[in-house]
Amino acid sequence: MTKTINNVVIAGGGTAGWMAAAAFTKLLGNNVSVTLVESDDIGTVGVGEATIPPIKTFHKLLGINEQELMRATQATFKLGIQFENWGQQGDSYIHSFGVTGKECWAGEFHHFWLHGLRKGICAEFGEYCYELQAAKANKFALSNTTPINYAYHLDASLYAKFLRSFSENLGATRIEGKINSVNKHNDTGDIASLTLDSGQTIEGDFFIDCTGFKGLLIEQALHTGFDDWSHYLPCDSAVAVQTKSVSAPIPYTRSIARNSGWQWKIPLQSRVGNGLVFCSKYCSDEEAISTLMANIDGEALTEPRVIKFNTGKRRKGWNKNCVALGLSSGFIEPLESTSIHLIMSGIIRLLRLFPFEGIEPSAVAEYNSKSDSELNAVRDFIVLHYKATQRNDSEFWQHCKNMEVPPSLSHKIKLFKETGRVFLDDGDIFRVDSWTQVMLGQGIMPSQYHKIANIMSDQELHNFMQSIKSSIANAVEKLPSHAEFIQHYCKSQDASLSENQLDAKYEVES
């Protein structure tokens, strides 16, 4: 017997909880009531400060003003990620959000670039990508005539605070308190209510688990099960610290490979988020803290905080009358800034399948199938970075270089290496450009390419490549600095970009 869904209860706040509350209150209106339960005594992980471009679509759907959001979260613009020391020590490449070159029906631009290499046209692959060149030049602007694809760096705790205000203004109810027990119906095993330490009981028809790694509802109450991916993703720990900014914010994240993992640097308007993701088999917590603190710039604003995690996913993202979002649904390490995106895509998937008239097995199956496909594709893309290394200077990198990878990823690498082709899986959130930039950036060079590239004469090919490169260089030349644009567009009242961080004059093409 199905039951009409009128009351949605969100267990846990943070980024996941308040993103869900914002979407449900805005997009479902008066169709359901939304109650969010969170404890002031329970901190959030709060280190997921980088995003990928689809977040803009989510904000547009909710009617959120970009400038207002960026001011409130001390946000900066993000054009991609610079990977340092991943292929070999001293290597550096940028995985950008832009389209590289121009493609045709039979093959993407990299086939023409590979053909050009054989013909002596030797410009770097990234020189044909607008966003990548803007990132390298530390420039940014919005323009109607020259669109730019971007995401944000933002303060995750301020983002949750912003969405809380947004949600409460639309009618969401917040109840403060720590969840003591999850109560289930005896006959169905569905969740019936939550009991707080105070003794208060909160009943609901449908529950969203945003309780973090614990998975109070999805795992501890419903025993959903967990697929462990640590054999593919060996890092199981992170240490995080915030520092004062000592220079103008750059429009990209830095990911710097270290001996037993990698370090992130995420620039906000007045501070920098720093962290080291590492494998505890090869590095102790104390060594990780020492490595991180030796490689930061500026005064530390917080004490280093160690976070332990298991990579993998719940066997069902939707189980009975509960959907898990964020860390409670699983965790794929933050190498490509996918955590907030996966929250967003889970919310949109649930909204499209929302069981207003009662939960149907077909909807649950569809949600879980699409979720699994997406998570598997993200997992493969992250594993690629570790597998595609030539480093053998530490036990950790030797392990990564020689480890088994999912058959789906092994096929993708082999296909690119042997034919130069990339085909996307159904759930792939990263485009061909992304796969190509990472594989080429880490030294996977195809042995052949599509012969469609031969349709041009040598001169035509030279002119074609030069035209793209020149138009990008000219467009980047006209851009203001990233710091100048932020000053003009979305400067936070809590941030202070000093005079020496800015050029004297701001100009931008409208």
Q: Are residues 167 and 125 in the same domain?
A: no
Average pLDDT over residues 23-28: 97
CB atoms closer than 10 angstroms to residue 389? 19
Helices and strands counted in the chain (H then E): 14, 21
pLDDT, one tens digit per residue, over 193-249 is 999 999 999 999 999 999 999 999 999 999 999 999 999 999 999 999 999 999 999
- CA atoms of 306 and 161, how far apart (whole Å): 23
Q: Are residues 298 and 321 in the same domain?
A: no
Which has the minimum average pLDDT: 121-125, 298-302, 358-362, 445-449? Answer: 121-125
Q: Are residues 201 and 243 in the same domain?
A: no
78 is catalytic: yes
Cβ partners under 8 Å of residue 274, min gap 6: 240, 241, 242, 243, 263, 264, 265, 266, 292, 296
pLDDT, one tens digit per residue, over 59-105 is 999 999 999 999 999 999 999 999 999 999 999 999 999 999 987 76
The one catalytic residue in 26, 56, 78, 505 is: 78
Tell me the C-alpha to C-alpha distance, in Å, between residue 403 and each of 386, 395, 442.
9, 12, 17
- CA atoms of 292 and 241, how far apart (whole Å): 9
- CA atoms of 208 and 172, how far apart (whole Å): 14
Q: What is the pLDDT of residue 45?
A: 53
What are residue 174's phi and psi, to 5 degrees?
Answer: -105, 130
Q: Are residues 385 and 447 in the same domain?
A: yes
Three-state secondary structure call for residue 431: coil
What CATH number is associated with residue 21? 3.50.50.60
Classify residue 129: in a domain, yes or no: yes
Structure confidence at residue 3 as a pLDDT band (50, 70, 90): confident
Q: Are residues 330 and 205 in the same domain?
A: yes
Record the tokens describing residue 273, joined without a space. Answer: 């988020």
Sign, Cα dihedral of 303, 308, 312, 317: negative
Residue 497 pLDDT exceeds 50: no
Structure confidence at residue 107 as a pLDDT band (50, 70, 90): confident
Q: What is the pLDDT of residue 504?
A: 27
Q: Are residues 470 and 405 in the same domain?
A: yes
Q: What is the pLDDT of residue 43?
A: 63
Classify residue 508: in a domain, yes or no: no
Q: What is the pLDDT of residue 509?
A: 27
Classify residue 503: in a domain, yes or no: no
DSSP state of 219: I
First to last CA, the chain: 58
pLDDT, one tens digit per residue, over 257-294 is 999 999 999 999 999 999 999 999 999 999 999 999 99
Q: What is the pLDDT of residue 106?
A: 65
Classify residue 204: in a domain, yes or no: yes
DSSP state of 97: S
Classify residue 74: in a domain, yes or no: no
Q: Are residues 276 and 352 in the same domain?
A: no
Angle between helices 339-352 and 361-387 (to 10 degrees): 160
Q: Are residues 220 and 324 in the same domain?
A: yes
As a whole-number percent, the residues of the chain with pLDDT over 90 amount to 90
Classify residue 72: in a domain, yes or no: no
Give the residue with greater pLDDT, 269 vs 121.
Answer: 269
Residue 21 pLDDT exceeds 90: yes
Average pLDDT over residues 412-435: 95
Q: Are residues 219 and 246 in the same domain?
A: no
Of 283, 308, 333, which residue is a domain's last?
Answer: 308
Greatest alpha-carbon span in the chain = 78
Q: Are residues 316 and 304 in the same domain?
A: no
Which has the minimum average pLDDT: 117-126, 225-234, 305-314, 386-395? Answer: 117-126
Q: Are residues 393 and 470 in the same domain?
A: yes
Q: What is the pLDDT of residue 433?
A: 94
- In whole numbers, what is the pLDDT of the chain averaged over residues? 93
DSSP state of 273: E
Classify residue 431: in a domain, yes or no: yes
Classify residue 447: in a domain, yes or no: yes
Three-state secondary structure call for residue 303: coil
Residue 501 pLDDT exceeds 60: no
Per the structure, the count of domains in the chain is 3
Alpha helices by DSSP H, 285-360 = 285-293, 339-352
Query: Structural domain of residue 36, as residue ranges?
Result: 7-49+155-228+312-359
Three-state secondary structure call for residue 142: coil
Residue 177 pLDDT exceeds 80: yes
Of 93, 99, 59, 45, whose CA–CA distance to 308 is shortest? Answer: 45
pLDDT, one tens digit per residue, over 454-482 is 888 999 999 999 999 999 999 999 999 99
DSSP state of 139: B
Tell me the C-alpha to C-alpha distance, in Å, between residue 138 and each of 80, 216, 259, 336, 417.
12, 43, 28, 20, 32
Q: Are residues 333 and 456 in the same domain?
A: no
3-state SS of 358-409 is CCCHHHHHHHHHHHHHHHHHHHHHHHHHHHCCCCCCCHHHHHHHHCCCCHHH
